[in-house]
Amino acid sequence: MKRFLLSYKIVLFLIFLFLAQYLILKGEFEIYRFSDNKYLYENGKQFSKGLVYIGLILSALFPLIVWFQRKKDFKKNIVWVIIGFFPALYYILLFILSYSI
């Protein structure tokens, strides 16, 4: 079970799940914005943003995760590494571009 949870393909799936959930849950919490359950909106939005940050951290660490698990055949898994690192690379590029202008 431990090997299954630490599989780099499962981690890759979790990265994209954590990033995509913000798009889905953001709209779902909007119905509580002006109701008596406003705390659901505030806490849900913070929880959703937290999962996005966890996804970005996992994306930045994904090449290391694959390297520690597959040192011998790391070059065979370079496509998985690029796919997993792409969200972190995207946010790093946006961050650099936003402060360079």
The 10s digit of each residue's pLDDT in 67-77 is: 888 888 888 98
Single-letter residue type at 12:
L
What are the domain boundaries of the chain? 2-100
The 10s digit of each residue's pLDDT in 83-96 is: 999 999 999 999 99
Looking at residues 77-81, what average pLDDT do you find? 90
More reliable by pLDDT, 66 or 3: 66
pLDDT of amino acid 26: 80
pLDDT of amino acid 69: 86
CA 32 to chain centre: 25
> Is the distance from CB of 30 to CB of 44 less than 8 angstroms?
no
DSSP three-state, residue 24:
helix
> Is the distance from CB of 62 to CB of 86 less than 8 angstroms?
no
Global pTM value: 0.82
